[in-house]
Structure 1
Amino acid sequence: MSDAAVEAVIVPPLRDLGDGFTVRRALPAVHRRMVGPFIFLDELGPIAFTGDRALDVRPHPHIGLATITHLIEGEILHRDSLGHVQPIRPGAVNWMTAGRGIVHSERTPPAARGVGARLHAIQLWVALPVAQEEIAPSFRHYPAQALPVAEDRGVRLALLAGVADGMTAPVETASDMILAELMLAAGGRYAFGAAHVERAVYVVSGAVRVEGQEGAFAAGQLVVLKPGAEVVLAADMPSRLMLVGGEPFPERRYVWWNFVSSRPERIEAAKADWRAGRFDGVAGDDEFIPLPPDVPGVRLV
């Protein structure tokens, strides 16, 4: 194995959104827009809420994608324009398919406010195949106990979506992918197979080495692996990693705010619809995030 096993390393900047709430955005990046179908990867926190502070992401729209919020710590209350009200807790998968359009909010539940709650999460967007970009929106909840887990000699792999190591997650996906949480004890080793064309490892905590090359990758880094490379991940300390990947799409995807599409004109239509109030609302949550202004000279990414 050689250094060629690693194609790129993305070090997302740490953004402070105020009151100590931090976000790292690993995808899309300047030199890497997607890994397989994954077009967005954010790490939120960790944060300890004090006083009257809380997570309050007001209702906002999505098109052309599926969203996943993977909680490491804490709880988020999801509400959407289909009428779903679902607490998101660590270990579960809440898969929201936007398709032709959905609106949702993400807030700290009432019972967790004012009690010093903590929050740490990974948020991901999966672009949809062209044939499914305009399907009806939907929402599915998969409790932690419904997801396959493999444990052996300092390695714990929880498969959140897709296929890996002979396991298949029950999550209904639209394309080939892997999404997994990998926990390595000190001295743990995991062979990340090359079944998926594109793969990456996001280091949430600890550090990970790629055997056969010098150095280690620290928390907050996204390590993009070379297609076809046989990779063994190793940890010298307890480490938490997210594994993402899958078959890339042949068509380009455009992103603007919360909208993803293979067609720029579809994003323009979604902007007009949100501005005009043509999306469905979220029952029980009457606030909303206004459409951001267009910035002259800034194009779709």
Structure 2
Amino acid sequence: MPAVTVDNILALPRIPLPDATAVARPVKTVTTAPTGFEGEGFPVRRAFAGIDLSSLDPFIHMDQMGEVNYAPGEPKGTPWHPHRGFETVTYMIDGIMEHKDSHGGGGTIGGGDTQWMTAGAGILHIEAPPEHLVMSGGLFHGVQLWVNLPRANKLATPRYQDITGNKVALLSSSDGGALVRVIAGEVAGHQGPGSTYTPIALTHITVAPGAALSLPWNPEFNALAYVLAGSGTVGGGGSVGSASIGSASAGRPIRMGQTALFGRGDVIDLAADSRGESMEIFVLGGKPIREPVAMAGPFVMNTKSEVVQAFEDYQAGRLGAPTE
């Protein structure tokens, strides 16, 4: 799972240890993602299945795409399809994906890259592996997240952000046991490259076997953590004194394919099991929008009538047209 790594993690900016008054966020639930298929048939895990939408706010949906090792001729993508009223964030860990949209955006993303598409008023797009990857096969692994847009930005002009892996902010835990990649938002005073309408933070964290991390987190944000690989514990309780940083005994067990929903607090405690592989974990959160959500298929609006209008606009060709 390469994504973005460094030769010397100790040369990176360090995340400071929390002070004695910091409160570790408790774990409210741990859920297991069911498996399914998306697009033309690539396997996914539905990371947010079973979690109430109000607890996810401002997020709507998240899939772990793969991890799958395709044989030649097997790689699959999605056909042209519409979106309105939210943003799609595609983060590639392994493999390559090509994107194209009807507003002129698009590009190719690989390990550690992020494609951030604001559908806004409406857009058509397509996601597919490049032809050479279809011919050769290979490893494919990534995450796609849907971020809701506030009412005032539902009909924003569509835009596309191509965030290459070398733009991501890289941080180290105080002892070098964890690598934190900040894709968007601010973590421990360091800003990720992604530009967002909704205040959020997105991180991909690698915690080495037996290592732990207390991650400072905006107390106004909710917090979720999805395990991409490995296992360990998450969460804590009460004040975080320096002697209890990352205390595994206080955490909830978690493994690949599970999502933790956290309660309120100042820091998120993560610890990897001492045996086996590193724990790869996608930690995200944001400031809730607290607006009504009406969604159907590829549209996320505030009212049912707005969703109906979106379908009518799509059928009438008002969301754009596929391009060559």
**After TM superposition, is the score higher than 0.5?**
yes
1:99 CA displacement = 0.6
Deviations 1:66-103 (A, max 9, x none): 11111111000001001223001121221110111011
Distance 1:8 1:229, change over 3 A: farther
Distance 1:88 1:64, change over 3 A: same
Deviations 1:185-239 (A, max 9, x none): 0122111324143001100000121344365101000100001264321112411
Match of 2:47 in 1: 26
Distance 1:282 1:51, change over 3 A: same
Match of 1:198 in 2: 222
CA distance in 1, matches of 2:39, 2:85: 30
Asked whether the 8 Å contact 1:5–1:230 carries over to 2, the reply is: no
Deviations 1:118-165 (A, max 9, x none): 211110010011111111111111211112101241210000111111
Matched, 1:170 2:207: no
Q: Pick one of 172, 177, 195 that aligns with 1:151.
A: 172
Q: Pick one of 306, 314, 324 that aligns with 1:274.
A: 314
Q: Pick one of 197, 202, 208 that aligns with 2:232.
A: 208
Deviations 1:241-295 (A, max 9, x none): 00010111121222211111112211111111222333211211xxxxxxxxxxx
Consecutive unaligned residues of structure 2, counting only runs of 5 or more, are 1-21, 235-246
CA distance in 1, matches of 2:322, 2:186: 33
Distance 1:115 1:173, change over 3 A: same
Match of 2:13 in 1: none
Matched, 1:73 2:97: no
Counterparts of residues 197-276 of structure 1 (less than 5 Å)? 197-210=221-234, 211=247, 212-213=249-250, 215-228=252-265, 230-236=267-273, 237-276=277-316
Equivalent AA in structure 1 for residue 78 of structure 2: V
Asked whether the 8 Å contact 1:36–1:177 carries over to 2, the reply is: no
Match of 1:142 in 2: 163
CA distance in 1, matches of 2:315, 2:283: 36
Q: Pick one of 166, 169, 189 that aligns with 2:212.
A: 189
1:178 CA displacement = 0.8
CA distance in 2, matches of 1:190, 1:81: 42
Equivalent AA in structure 2 for residue 86 of structure 1: G
TM-score calculated relative to the size of structure 2: 0.81
Q: Percent identity?
A: 28
Distance 1:28 1:259, change over 3 A: farther
Q: Pick one of 26, 37, 60 that aligns with 1:5.
A: 26
CA distance in 1, matches of 2:309, 2:59: 23
The aligned length equals 284
1:3 CA displacement = 11
1:20 CA displacement = 8.3
Asked whether the 8 Å contact 2:25–2:269 carries over to 1, the reply is: no
CA distance in 2, matches of 1:13, 1:93: 24
SS of residue paired to 1:113: helix
